[in-house]
Structure formats: C-alpha cells, structure tokens
C-alpha cells in the first residue's frame, strides 16, 4: 500500500521532469540543429503528443551529421581533385573541350552543376549495360567476380544471410583464397543479419578477405544512428569493371519471396573512366568504416582503356555535408526538361522543391510520367507516396502503378538525352538522411533504352487516374493525412 501511495505521490514530479526534457530537446531542435520548419514542427508535435515515445524517437532518429564531414580528404588528395575538376571546368567554359555526344553538349550546364556542386568529374569513354533483372545481375556479377585477378571492392546496403547472400559471400571467399584482395563493406543496419561472427563472414575473413560495417551499433542490440545509413550499392573489380544501381543481395531481389513476387530493379554494369570515380567513392567509404590507411590514388592505379563514348558523372551525397547533391541533379533535370520526364521510384515522398518542380513541368506541357509500386514494403511511406502522386495527377502528370511485382528501380530519363540510375529514391530520406550514389548518363542511345524500358514496364501497370484517385475511401484519405504529417520523419 505504501509503495502504491509513494508512486502516485511522485507522478507529478515525473511529468515535470518529462516536460523539462521535452523543452530542452525542442530548444535543441529549434535553435541548434536548424532543421527545416516542417521537420521542426513534426518533431515538436511528436515530443509533446507522445512524450516518452517522442524522446526515444529523437535519440534514435534525429541526430544531425550536417556539421560532421566524415569522409575527409588529405591535403594532397584535395589539391589533385580540385585541380583536375578546375581544368575540366575551364576547358568546357572556353570551348576547348570536345564532347562525344550531342546529349552531353546540350546538357553541359548540368555537367557544370555536378562538377561545381557535386565535385563530380565528367568522363565520356564509357560503355554502359543496363540490367533490370535480378538473376541476370547476379549471374553477371558472379561471373566478373570469378574472373577477378587483383582486387574486388564491394559495398551494399543489404546483404541477406540467406541462400543468395551466402552464395555471394562464398564466391568472394573463393577469390580471397586465390590471393585476390577482397574488401566487403556492408551497412550495419541493412546488413544486420550478418556480423563478423556469422559463419560465411568468418570464413571470408579466415581466407584473407576484409570486412567492415558502416556505422555499427553503439550497443549490442541498439544502433543510435538509425537514420544515417549507407544506401549505396557499388562494386569495382580490378579497377576496370563497375556496378552501380538499386539491387541489393538476397532472395527477394531475385523474385524468390512470395510477398514481393517479381522484383523489378535497375542496375548498371560499366566499363571506362567512370569506374575510377566509383572506386574512389568506395575507397572513401571503406577508409572511414574500416580505418584502413588508404590513399585515393589507389582508385587510379589501373589504366582505363576507352570502352565506349557514353558520358557519365558519378554523383554521391550524404547527410554529413548537408548539400543533397543527387537531389540537385534531379532538380536540374526536371527544370530543364522540354519534352518528357519519366520517373521510376519505390518511394515518392519529395520535398517541396522537387514536388513543385514536377508540378510546374507538367503544367508547362512537359509529359511527366511517374511509376510507383502496387504494394508497400514500408506502410507509412506507401501512403505518403500515394498522397504525393495524387498531387501530381491534379497538376497534369500521369501516374502508373506497377502490378507485376515490386518496383524498386530509382531512375529518371529526360528528353531522350539524359538519365539517372542509382541508389537515391525520390524521397526526403535519400535527399537528406542516407548516403547515396547515382550515375548521370549523357547519351541519346542509353536514354532511348531507358525510355523503351519505361514504356515496356507500362504494359505491366494500371494508371492511377484523377477519377480513381478521387474515389478513394475515407480510410485511405486518413492514412494519407497521417503519412503526410510525418513526411519529414519517414
């Protein structure tokens, strides 16, 4: 009886302390973290409507990396990169640079943007293979791994501890036994089924391979960096063959999970100069996660043989810089479009700048088409996607729902000349919270292929028309409203 009385008498003190903690966090968000106004209001709402849950969510999801540049360059590396970029920028500005495609020439202002804002070097000696099927992607990747002679650098957001994941890691183990230098970087949240104690990983390490995890848990079962994940999916073999795109490693990415059915994704296999830039991105991430002493010049050891004539820029972004370089590339493509914009994304939760740019394009007569999946893998994100898709429809864009399985591709193609393929979705998480990498392609032939792929996928879609969207029921409208309210937290 005494204990019950004691507890009841101290409840006011508990709520007073809770209120003070919430006020301190709210003050931190408003005056120190300088989040955008909508994100600030969303956090304050959660803190005061759900005090205990709000505090927990804040410490798990609302850390700020924008003042922490974690991928630091040495003074020498900074000088080399800045000098190379400036030389290329100057040549393009004074007209002495010779473009190999009309697309690159027409979009040289976007190339300049990626050079200046994204520090992305432009190469146009590349050969591109577009891969849209998981079986094809894995088979080709395993073939390239089997033929590796010197180095294999691999980075994935997700590698599952299943039949496919173990098969993939066993292939790396075989090459490590042959003396090939194998580095495997896995995001600790996406790859949470794996650890250095997992049998297949342990065998890779014993064979001489190296494994690192990006932002591993602070405590055994608690990762305090839930928001800041390395979402990149990149591979470089012998410094000559590169992969970049949307596929991860696991059964569902080969359509082997009943929940999702056929998995529709897009990845690139590339040869040429841009492979060096993909490798440099890997080495920066690896250097941070593994603490191995490396110099970025290792990315440029292999002599690149001219493989084709496709212009490519590899653009990466992350929350440590607060610049949203990939998003800026997307915006430039959208605002420069004159004929058409075709977008495929599993999650369409844009910020106001992207949404208004797309609405303005559609209202200006540009043929804007958006393709999204028919099923959710994250419920709140799905309903937010549905809500934003409705806004586009009301502005004159057309929205298509992919019915064949799960659409996971992150692509955009504009005016049959420029395209983007990579890991970045059209959502706030990719723009602000995740570490991403995309390839921007400047080539009429490759853009035409992307348009053809989009149009082929339309055969497996139904259109979300104005009448269908307006006829949705009250439960769906309620779900959309809640999801929209939490957009900046999704």
**Could you give the residue numbers annotated as active site?**
231, 233, 238, 408, 410, 415
Q: Do 157 and 230 contact (CB within 8 A), yes or no? A: yes
Residue 258, class by beta-carbon neighbours within 10 Å (0-12 exposed, 13-18 middle, 19+ buried)? exposed
Residue 107 CA to residue 417 CA, distance in Å, equals 8
User: How far apart, in whole angstroms, are the C-alpha atoms of residue 476 and residue 339?
Assistant: 33
Give dist(CA 460, CA 457) in Å, integer: 5
Can you read off the two tokens belonging to residue 11? 């409840």
Residue entry with tokens 């849950």: 53
Task: Give phi and psi for 39, each to the nearest 5.
Answer: -65, -40
Q: Residues of 100-130 as b/e, b for ≥16 C-beta within 10 angstroms? A: ebebbbbbbebbbbbbebbebbbbbbbebeb
Over its C-alpha atoms, the chain yields an Rg (Å, rounded) of 23
Q: How far is Cα 273 from Cα 282, in angstroms, rounded to an integer?
A: 15
* Cα separations in angstroms, 469 against 173, 245, 477, 486: 51, 31, 10, 21
Tokens found for residue 228: 């800041």
Q: Which residues, listed in sequence order, are joined to residue 340 by a DSSP beta bridge? A: 367
Element (H, E) at 116: helix 108-116
Q: Which of 181, 423, 146 is nearest to 294 (CA)?
A: 181
Alpha-carbon distance of 440 to 115, in angstroms, equals 12
- Taking residue 44's Cβ as centre, other Cβ atoms within 10 Å add up to 16
For the purposes of burial, counting CB atoms within 10 Å of the CB of 300, is it exposed (0-12), middle (13-18) or buried (19 or more)? middle
Angle, vertex CA 385, rays to CA 434 and CA 455, nearest 5: 95
Strands 418-422 and 411-414: antiparallel
């Amino acid at each position: 009886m005494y204990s019950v009385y004691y507890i009841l008498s101290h409840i006011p003190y508990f709520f007073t302390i809770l209120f003070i903690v919430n006020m301190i966090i709210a003050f931190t968000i408003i005056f120190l973290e300088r989040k955008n106004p909508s994100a600030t209001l969303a956090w304050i709402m959660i803190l005061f409507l759900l005090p205990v849950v709000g505090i927990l969510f804040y410490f798990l999801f609302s850390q700020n990396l924008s003042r922490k540049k974690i991928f630091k360059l040495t003074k020498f590396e900074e000088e080399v990169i800045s000098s190379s970029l400036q030389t290329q920028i100057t040549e393009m500005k004074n007209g002495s640079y010779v473009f190999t495609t009309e697309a690159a020439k027409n979009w040289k202002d976007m190339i300049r943007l990626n050079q200046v804002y994204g520090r992305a070097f432009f190469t146009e000696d590349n050969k591109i293979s577009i891969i849209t099927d998981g079986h094809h992607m894995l088979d080709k990747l395993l073939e390239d791994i089997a033929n590796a002679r010197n180095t294999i650098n691999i980075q994935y957001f997700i590698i599952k501890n299943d039949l496919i994941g173990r098969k993939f890691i066993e292939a790396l183990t075989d090459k490590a036994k042959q003396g090939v230098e194998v580095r495997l970087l896995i995001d600790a949240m996406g790859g949470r089924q794996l650890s250095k104690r997992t049998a297949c990983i342990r065998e890779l390490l014993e064979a001489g391979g190296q494994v690192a995890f990006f932002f591993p848990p602070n405590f055994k079962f608690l990762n305090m960096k839930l928001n800041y994940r390395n979402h990149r999916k990149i591979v470089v073999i012998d410094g000559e063959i590169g992969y970049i795109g949307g596929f991860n490693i696991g059964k569902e990415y080969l359509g082997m999970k009943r929940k999702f059915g056929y998995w529709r994704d897009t990845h690139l296999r590339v040869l040429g100069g841009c492979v060096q830039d993909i490798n440099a991105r890997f080495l920066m991430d690896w250097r941070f996660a593994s603490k191995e002493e490396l110099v970025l010049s290792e990315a440029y050891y292999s002599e690149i043989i001219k493989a084709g004539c496709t212009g490519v820029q590899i653009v990466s972004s992350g929350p440590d810089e607060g610049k949203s370089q990939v998003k800026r590339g997307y915006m430039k493509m959208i605002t420069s479009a004159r004929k058409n914009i075709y977008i495929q994304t599993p999650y369409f939760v844009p910020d106001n700048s992207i949404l208004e740019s797309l609405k303005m394009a559609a209202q200006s007569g540009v043929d804007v088409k958006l393709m999204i999946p028919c099923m959710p893998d994250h419920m709140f994100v799905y309903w937010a996607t549905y809500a934003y898709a409705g806004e586009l429809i009301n502005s004159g864009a057309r929205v298509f729902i992919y019915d064949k399985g799960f659409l996971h591709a992150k692509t955009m193609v504009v005016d049959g000349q420029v395209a983007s393929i990579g890991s970045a979705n059209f959502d706030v998480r990719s723009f602000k919270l995740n570490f991403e990498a995309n390839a921007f392609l400047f080539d009429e032939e490759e853009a035409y292929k992307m348009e053809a792929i989009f149009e082929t996928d339309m055969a497996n879609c139904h259109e979300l028309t104005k009448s269908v969207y307006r006829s949705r029921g009250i439960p769906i409208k309620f779900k959309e409203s809640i999801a929209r309210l939490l957009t900046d937290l999704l």
